[in-house]
């Protein structure tokens, strides 16, 4: 198997990070180096790690100018050893199954033209093996079915359903993510990977880096990078490379900023793939964005966290209006 490195970018999540690293220690294949890139504003993560015995661990505390997900990832890439052939990235709040790295590296071996391979999150969606016709209100793919979310049901009523398979972007954006791929044990081609469960060939970083457009939390930075990477080689999801994602709330932006990112960063990534969309695609992107924003507005009445729902909805509205006057420029 090739030499491989693990980069974990973290921010104010010391306990979640330790839980991840304990699952790394149980791997059948162990990283040649583990780079923890810490953007925390205190010393808690460093203090916690000094009490752990973790083989091949290298800890880096970045200054404010290098803080933020994409900057920390680029920082980590610069610190890789010269022998690394595969670079794995993991969010700091995931837990791996024991053969995760083994499955990732096996996919690179089987797909010599692959530049990237993604893992598969197993604790977020309930799938059922059912090869019959799709049940009403369910999404079916490759012999499996899952309940369709309300947003996709409403999109269908207005003719705004994505017309691309999961992991690929329709011409009006707003596609189905890789979470719509089933736990079939198969490996699927995609053009987008989730950054916190992805691995890339080290040679790719001679041509690409993570965009600094995505400051701070970096929502959709993974879609931007993987879309650009897909132009240089194939990308795959191995549904046998399994892990769980626990979405630790520490380190997340406030919901107003998050809502604004959803619109502005979503628009940015859409234009990375489609720099000059036709009029119909432009209309459908905006119509879908407004529909999803209206759904979030109604959550103000139905959600348990009404204040959070209001703040995110307000951020989405502000983000959409800002696109009328100040569109981001894809780099």
pLDDT digits (tens, 9 = 90+) for 206-224: 999 999 898 767 799 999 9
The single-letter DSSP state of residue 26 is T
- Residue written as tokens 């091949």? 56
Nearest to 113, CA basis, from 233, 236, 237: 233
pLDDT digits (tens, 9 = 90+) for 52-90: 999 999 999 999 889 999 999 999 999 999 999 999 999
For CA atoms 181, 235, 198, 88, give the dihedral sign: positive
Q: From residue 265, how far is each of 126, 199, 217, 241 by CA, in Å?
A: 28, 22, 11, 28
Given 3.90.550.10, 3.90.1150.180, 2.40.160.20, 3.10.20.30, which CATH number is that of 4-122+183-245? Answer: 3.90.550.10
Q: From residue 64, how far is each of 12, 39, 61, 216 by CA, in Å?
A: 14, 7, 10, 11
- Mean pLDDT (whole number) for 189-198: 96
Whole-angstrom distance, CA of residue 135 vs CA of residue 19: 38
Share of the chain above pLDDT 90, in %: 88
Phi first, then psi, for residue 129 (nearest 5°) are: -75, 115
Residue 329 binned pLDDT confidence (cut-offs 50, 70, 90): confident
Please list the residue range(s) of the chain that carry CATH number 3.90.550.10.
Answer: 4-122+183-245
Give me the numbers of helices (H) and strands (E) for the chain, helices first please.
Answer: 9, 12
| pLDDT reported for residue 286 | 97
pLDDT digits (tens, 9 = 90+) for 97-140: 999 999 999 999 999 999 999 999 999 999 999 999 989 999 99
Residue 9 binned pLDDT confidence (cut-offs 50, 70, 90): very high
| pLDDT reported for residue 199 | 98
DSSP 263-277: HHHHHHHHHHH-SS-
- Mean pLDDT (whole number) for 14-33: 97
Share of the chain above pLDDT 70, in %: 98
pTM above 0.85, yes or no: yes
DSSP 200-239: EEGGGGGT----TTS-TT-TTHHHHHHHHHTTTSEEEEEE
pLDDT digits (tens, 9 = 90+) for 262-301: 999 999 999 999 999 999 999 999 999 999 999 999 988 8
């Amino acid at each position: 198997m090739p030499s491989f490195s693990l980069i974990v970018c973290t921010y104010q999540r010391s306990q979640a990070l330790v839980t991840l690293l304990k699952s790394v220690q149980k791997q059948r294949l162990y990283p040649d180096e583990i780079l923890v890139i810490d953007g925390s504003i205190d010393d808690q993560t460093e203090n916690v790690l000094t009490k752990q015995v973790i083989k091949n661990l290298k800890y880096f505390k970045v200054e404010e100018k290098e803080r933020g997900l994409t900057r920390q990832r680029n920082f980590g890439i610069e610190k890789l050893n010269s022998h690394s052939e595969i670079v794995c990235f993991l969010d700091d709040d995931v837990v791996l199954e024991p053969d995760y790295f083994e499955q990732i590296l096996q996919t690179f071996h089987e797909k010599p033209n692959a530049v990237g391979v993604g893992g598969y999150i197993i604790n977020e969606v309930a799938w059922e093996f059912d090869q019959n016709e799709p049940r009403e209100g369910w999404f079916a793919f490759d012999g499996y079915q899952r309940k369709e979310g309300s947003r996709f049901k409403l999109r269908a009523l207005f003719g705004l359903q994505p017309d691309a398979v999961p992991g690929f972007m329709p011409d009006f954006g707003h596609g189905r993510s890789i979470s719509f791929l089933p736990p079939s044990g198969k490996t699927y081609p995609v053009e987008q990977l989730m950054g916190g469960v992805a691995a890339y060939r080290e040679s790719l970083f001679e041509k690409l880096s993570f965009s600094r457009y995505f400051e701070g939390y970096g929502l959709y930075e993974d879609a931007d990078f993987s879309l650009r990477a897909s132009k240089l080689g194939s990308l795959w999801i191995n549904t046998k490379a399994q892990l769980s994602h626990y979405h630790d709330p520490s380190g997340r932006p406030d919901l107003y900023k998050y809502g604004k990112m959803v619109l502005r960063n979503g628009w940015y990534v859409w234009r990375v793939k489609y720099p000059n969309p036709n009029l119909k695609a432009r209309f459908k992107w905006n119509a879908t964005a407004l529909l999803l924003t209206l759904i979030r507005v109604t959550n103000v009445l139905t959600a348990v966290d009404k204040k959070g729902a209001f703040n995110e909805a307000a951020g989405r509205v502000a983000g959409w209006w800002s696109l009328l006057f100040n569109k981001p420029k894809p780099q």
